[in-house]
Amino acid sequence: MSAPLLIRSHDEAELVDCASDWPDYLELADLTADTLRQVTLREGIDFTTALLYDRIRRSKAHGPLIQRLEVYAKSQKEEFNSFGERGRVNALREIQCDVKIVIVPGAFYVEAPQSGADGRQVIEEARRLGFRTARIPIPGFGSLQDNSYLILDWLDKRADERVVLVSLSKGGADVKIALAQKDASSAFRNVLGWIDLSGILHGTPLADWLLSRKLRSLFLRPVFWFRGHSFNVIEELSQRIGAPLRRRAILPKHLKAIHVVGFPLRRHLSNALMRRGHRRLTPFGPNDGVMALADVCTFPGAVYPVWGADHYLRSRHADLPGLFARIMHYIAEEILAAPAAAEPIP
């Protein structure tokens, strides 16, 4: 596979080349969560992040999608940067009037829209591309079960519309739980694609860390209550045995899922909160400051790793709107190529 688009410094390129040439764990399946922890202890967090990044890019499960999106970026860069001026890509033109981009927002999207959890960037780019948009009005830190029912109800009431869902962070967990409900197949029948941005589909070790600090938990419970949030949601986001997110997500056969996940080195974390999260999760191996990246290996669908981006996909070089445009181009081509019962992305 060609060099990643976003690696611009010489030392980072050398790191990824070194990881690519490493003779151990050549297949993505070899990099289990335990293996990633062990490699991190021996080789350091940055090398292990580069190793997992490389193995995802060259894997049979994710490599084809990654190559296709990066071909779009390289050979059609001018076209993607000027949709409005030069006209729409034909595939997008075919579906843009018939498909709505629907945001499933992340945690605290009302209180902290600056995090990007409200999906504003995606909405702006979707409208620029000519799509109609909507945001499902779920509580900013509602329980997974309650939010899942709200998602199903919202979709079911708009069964005549074709939809591409875009979830952010905790919104991905809400969608996962919604997919597990008994009425999911009906509600999701016209959902053509699921673009999951940094979805914590398997929870986060940070929730377990917080729950293990009894004094901190006791202090935060009234803070959550005062702000109208249930502290029990933290327990739902844990990775303990019996937690709701421990189960694997199951997709309907027609639903294409693409998970966009940040792969930062320590130097990429300019935000103090992300630095603290990354440091606390280092014993788990590569992470984005919130989520252990070993989890993405079992996500249903395809994974697109973004080099140098944190959990909120913030990066000096990453172009989230441009990436969204390329993903929509891909989904549009897939819809037109297989209008009936499409198979899920491997």
What does the alpha-carbon distance between residue 91 and residue 76 come to, in Å, rounded to a whole number? 14
Q: For residue 229, with 0-12 CB atoms within 10 Å meaning exposed, 13-18 middle and 19 or more buried, which class applies?
A: buried
| Better-predicted residue by pLDDT, 130 or 85 | 130
Residue 278 lies in a domain: yes
pLDDT band with cut points at 50, 70 and 90 for residue 292: very high
- Within-domain flag for 1: no
Helices (H), 58-200: 63-75, 77-80, 83-86, 90-95, 120-128, 144-156, 170-179, 184-187
- The CATH number given to whatever domain includes residue 293 is 3.40.50.1820
Q: Cα separation of 117 and 316, whole Å?
A: 18
**Closest to 323 measured CA to CA, from 265, 276, 258, 275:** 258
Mean pLDDT in residue range 282-301: 96
pLDDT at 216: 75
Mean pLDDT of the chain: 88
**For position 98, what pLDDT does the model report?**
87
Position 343 in a domain: no
Total domains in the fold of the chain: 1
Dump pLDDT digits (tens) for 24-81.
999 999 999 999 999 999 999 999 999 999 999 999 999 999 999 988 877 555 554 4
Residue at 221 is within a domain = yes
Q: Over the stretch 158-199, which tens digit does the pLDDT of each residue have?
A: 988 999 999 999 999 999 999 999 989 999 999 999 999 999
d(C-alpha 237, C-alpha 206), whole Å: 9
Residue 79 domain flag? yes
Residue 272 has a pLDDT of: 93
Which pTM does this prediction carry?
0.90
pLDDT of residue 342: 39
* pLDDT for 4: 61
Residue 3 placed within a domain: no
Question: Is there a domain that residue 27 lies in?
Answer: yes
Provide, rounded to the nearest whole percent, the portion of the chain with pLDDT above 90: 66
Structural domain of 185: 10-337
Helix, strand, coil % in the chain, rounded to nearest 5: 50, 10, 40
d(CA 133, CA 121): 12
Taking residues 96-108, report their average pLDDT.
91
Whether 344 is covered by a domain: the verdict is: no
140 has a pLDDT exceeding 60: yes
Q: How remote is the C-alpha of 116 from its chain's centroid? A: 13
